């Protein structure tokens, strides 16, 4: 298609609604190159490349997110490392096949990206469910890696104590807003700029980059925010294809960031951003925190039992998105960890 003459383009902008004009003129400000890597017939993955010299780092997002969730974080590493991020199949601009979302397939996708781009012995960094890909690749191909970094990504999807019905029942004793924050209004979804503001209010301490929101949601012709782009079947297939975490065959150094909720004397009710108003609410919140601590300790013990030298960094009062809520801590500890890794041959 030939480009429109500038005068015609100017005329089109003049008759477009303001929100649509903003959508047409918006560009991703993160300094990355975007490419697509074929990992299987008719399946391509979006790969972001921030460049940089030094040891390669490959960032993997959690379920529901895309590589663009790292658009603000990654550039803070590329002065020392060559930084990449991968959007897994089913999300964002990557292909969305009807099947093949088990741990093994998702791990093989990452390995294919490494092969295609000739990324030699990277440090794999994964958030949340990406821990499954990290663990599978680490178990099977430690010789292909330099190290693994888990960003609150050590939960075992097949046996977590957080999945117990009695734990979830405790939240029903608290106001619904604690576990179900207010949904965005029509005004919040009028534009991606407004939607960014909604996420900022919802999470208090941070918000996803606007590029991430644009990757997650459909943009309507008038510039407003539409439905989620990833089919609901994708998350279901990933959950069904998850296997029990087994770190026993991993032969590379591991760094794991794990959020820890503070004790009551430190203001533990702030973690859920809720002050109990009744004895029932206080008792329920205390049990929730006790379960959180027990589950966290279980995760740490499972990891260190298999990999005794794994380095665990507990981040107090951190969000699940530790690389947002505790960015400075995460960057500092990542740099120190990578600095002491063996040199790549």
Greater pLDDT, 80 or 6: 80
Mean local confidence (pLDDT), 316-337: 93
- The C-alpha R_g of the chain, in whole angstroms, comes to 21
Paired with 38 in beta bridges are 44
Q: How far apart are CA 80 and CA 37, in angstroms?
A: 25
CA gap 60, 46 in Å, rounded: 12
Q: Across residues 171-196, what is the average pLDDT?
A: 87
What domains can you pick out in the chain, each with its CATH number? 6-339 (3.40.50.1820)
Nearest to 60 by CA among 88, 100, 92, 30: 88
DSSP letters of 203-231? HSS----HHHHHHHEEEPTTS-EEEESS-
What does the alpha-carbon distance between residue 230 and residue 96 come to, in Å, rounded to a whole number? 8
Instruction: Kindly provide the residue ranges of all beta strands, DSSP E only, lying in 62-143, ordered along the sequence.
Output: 82-87, 123-127
pLDDT of residue 317: 78
Residue labelled with tokens 């741990």: 103
pLDDT recorded at residue 203? 67
The tally of CA atoms less than 13 A away on the side-chain side of residue 193 is 10
User: Over 50: is that where the pLDDT of 159 sits?
Assistant: yes
Please, how many CA atoms are within 13 Å of residue 214, restricted to the half-sphere of its CB? Answer: 17
Q: For residue 232, how many other CB atoms are within 10 A of its CB?
A: 8
Tell me what pLDDT residue 48 has: 98
pLDDT tens digits, one per residue of 204-244: 667 889 999 999 999 999 999 999 999 999 999 998 898 88
pTM tops 0.85, yes or no: yes
Alpha carbon distance 177, 179 (integer Å): 6
Position 5 pLDDT exceeds 90: no
Q: How far apart are CA 267 and CA 212, in angstroms?
A: 32
Mean pLDDT is lowest, of 42-51, 257-266, 274-283, for 257-266
Separation between Cα atoms, residue 209 and residue 73, nearest integer Å: 10
């Amino acid at each position: 298609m030939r480009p429109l003459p500038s005068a015609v383009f100017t005329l089109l902008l003049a008759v477009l609604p303001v929100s649509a004009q903003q959508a047409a003129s918006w560009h991703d400000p993160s300094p990355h190159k975007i490419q697509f890597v074929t990992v299987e017939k008719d399946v391509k993955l979006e790969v972001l490349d921030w460049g940089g010299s030094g040891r390669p780092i490959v960032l993997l997002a959690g379920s529901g997110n895309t590589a663009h969730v790292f658009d603000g974080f990654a550039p803070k590493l590329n002065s020392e490392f060559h930084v990449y991020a991968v959007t897994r199949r089913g999300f964002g601009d990557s292909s969305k096949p009807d099947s093949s979302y088990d741990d093994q397939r998702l791990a093989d996708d990452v390995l294919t990206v490494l092969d295609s781009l000739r990324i030699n012995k990277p440090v794999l960094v994964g958030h949340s469910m990406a821990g499954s890909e990290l663990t599978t690749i680490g178990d099977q191909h430690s010789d292909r890696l330099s190290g693994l970094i888990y960003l609150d990504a050590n939960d075992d999807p097949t046996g977590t104590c957080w999945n117990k019905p009695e734990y979830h029942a405790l939240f029903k004793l608290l106001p619904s807003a604690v576990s179900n924050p207010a949904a965005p209004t029509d005004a919040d979804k009028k534009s991606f700029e407004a939607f960014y503001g909604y996420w900022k209010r919802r999470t208090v301490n941070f918000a996803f980059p606007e590029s991430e929101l644009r990757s997650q949601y459909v943009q309507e012709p008038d510039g407003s925010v539409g439905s989620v782009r990833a089919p609901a079947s994708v998350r279901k297939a990933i959950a069904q294809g998850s296997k029990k975490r087994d770190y026993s065959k991993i032969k590379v150094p591991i760094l794991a960031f794990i959020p820890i909720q503070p004790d009551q004397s430190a203001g533990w009710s702030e973690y859920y951003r809720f002050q109990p108003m009744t004895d029932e609410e206080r008792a329920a919140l205390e049990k929730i925190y006790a379960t959180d601590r027990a589950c966290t300790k279980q995760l740490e013990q499972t990891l260190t039992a298999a990999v005794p030298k794994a380095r665990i960094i507990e981040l107090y009062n951190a969000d699940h998105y530790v690389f947002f809520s505790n960015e400075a801590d995460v960057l500092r500890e990542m740099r120190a960890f990578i600095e002491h890794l063996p040199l790549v041959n």
